[in-house]
Amino acid sequence: MGRDYSYIARRCERAVVTAYRELREAGSQDVPAFQACTTLYRVHHPEASVDEARRLVAEWIDHHVVRASSGPTRGCDC
Kindly tell me if the per-residue pLDDT of 58 is higher than 50.
yes
Regarding predicted confidence, which is higher, 23 or 4? Answer: 23
Residue 3: which pLDDT band, with cuts at 50, 70 and 90? confident
Sequence spans of domains, the chain: 11-66
Supply the pLDDT for residue 1.
44
Supply the pLDDT for residue 30.
96
Instruction: Work out the number of other CB atoms within 10 angstroms of the CB of residue 68.
Output: 8
- Read off the DSSP letter of residue 3: P
Whole-angstrom distance, CA of residue 37 vs CA of residue 32: 9
What is the reported pTM? Answer: 0.87
| Average pLDDT, integer, range 10-30 | 94
